[in-house]
Amino acid sequence: MRILATIVAVLAFSSANWAQEAARPVPPPAEQPHIDIVFCIDCSGSMGPVIETAKQKVWAIVNEVAKAKPAPVLRIGLLGYGNADRTFRPFDLTDDLDEVYKNLMTFKDEGWGDEYVGLAIHKATNEMKWSAGKQVLKVIYVVGNETARQGPAEFDYTKTAPAAIAKDIIVNAIYCGDTDHASATPTWREMARLADGQYMEIAASGGAVVVATPFDKDLAELNGKLNATYVGYGAAAAEGGAKQAAGDASAGRLGAVVLAERAVAKSSVQYSNATWDLVDAAKDAKFDINSVKEEALPEEMKKMTVEQRKAFIAEKAREREAIQKQIREVATRRDAFVKEQMSKQGLSADKAFDTAVRNSINQQAQKKGFVFEQ
């Protein structure tokens, strides 16, 4: 009896401990960090060169964010602004970088005369769908070349900038006008100060420094090979593939250097197309190929068994990883070449749009706990 009583007691104690363990809440999975950036770009008459520079250098900015560890999800939103009646429909924050590029390519010098900076901040703060979470950097870049004190008083930057930082959204000011304009620069400095941001001055031309390299052709060829590893599926496949091809074409029209920087960006984890590409979709541990209907698969996969489909996707993933590794290796040599040539030619990117963004995002991200590879 004593033995039986002891066994019962042990079992009861063990059951109680198990019940307590089971009752404890399971900690949520580690939150993936995010960097959200909204560019508010003045589309008035004299901003054409800066807008074109943004188109050329957005991939260089993506490549800077790609250096951050832990690797963040990068989401970009766009808002072209003028006056109350001429504010663009905002392009919401998205991690679809091809969609961002497609939208950015629609921006142009509209010839407007008014720049309602404060209203642009208000719209970016309240109309964009910002990420939630602890390790999230939320930043607005306002780019313009006239005084920031324009537009209705209720949307003056002295009200909308503090309202942004109250929601943990930093406002950075990039001024590209006449720095001797007494009424303009102080307003931009104040705007940044009111929202814990940085004030930066860039050249009215956008300040882009473009250095062609012998590696650009190699990166273009690797980019083509990379595209061949994408396996489109579902209703979004046609549009996704078309956007990717259009993005390459747009970058190529802007020059071999731009296409090279886009290729480097496509080798990063920030460039993800899980909504239409099976290789990216399969990176999610929850993804199940069985959940994809046969009619949603590409033709070459429809007659495969489940195991053959898994093997096919895995092989494409290995191919992609190998190509992306090659791209990164070539990019390292390309970066060294660019630095050497800039030094030899006495070129400076200190007043460039992308330099302003890359330096500030680096510094502000570090305050959020990110570490950047050198």
**pLDDT on residue 238:** 98
Residue with tokens 């489109």: 232
Q: Which amino acid is at 149?
A: R
**pLDDT on residue 17:** 39
Rg (CA), the chain: 25
The boundaries of the domain holding residue 227 are 216-345
Do 178 and 247 fall within a single domain? no
**pLDDT on residue 359:** 98
H helical segments located in the chain: 2-23, 48-65, 97-104, 117-127, 157-165, 185-194, 216-227, 237-254, 256-265, 278-281, 299-302, 306-345, 353-367
Give per-residue burial for 168-196: e unless 16+ CB within 10 Å, then b. ebbbbbbbbbeeeeeebbebbbbbbebbb
pTM over 0.85: yes
Q: Is residue 10 part of a domain?
A: no
**pLDDT on residue 178:** 76
Q: Is residue 17 part of a domain?
A: no
Do 337 and 251 fall within a single domain? yes
Do 202 and 117 fall within a single domain? yes
Rounded Cα gap, residues 272 and 237, in angstroms = 13
Question: Number of structural domains, the chain?
Answer: 2
Tell me the CATH number at 363: 3.40.50.410
**pLDDT on residue 206:** 96
Parts of the chain with a pLDDT under 70: 1-30, 86-87, 112, 180-182
Q: How far apart are the first and last CA of the chain?
A: 71
Q: How far is CA 91 from CA 38, 99, 154, 295, in A?
A: 9, 9, 24, 32
Do 203 and 233 fall within a single domain? no
Q: Is residue 29 part of a domain?
A: no
- Selection from 121, 105, 319 nearest residue 227 by Cα: 319
**pLDDT on residue 181:** 65
Give per-residue burial for 28-51: e unless 16+ CB within 10 Å, then b. eeeeebbbbbbbbbbbbeebbbbb
Do 233 and 160 fall within a single domain? no
C-alpha 282: how far from chain center: 21
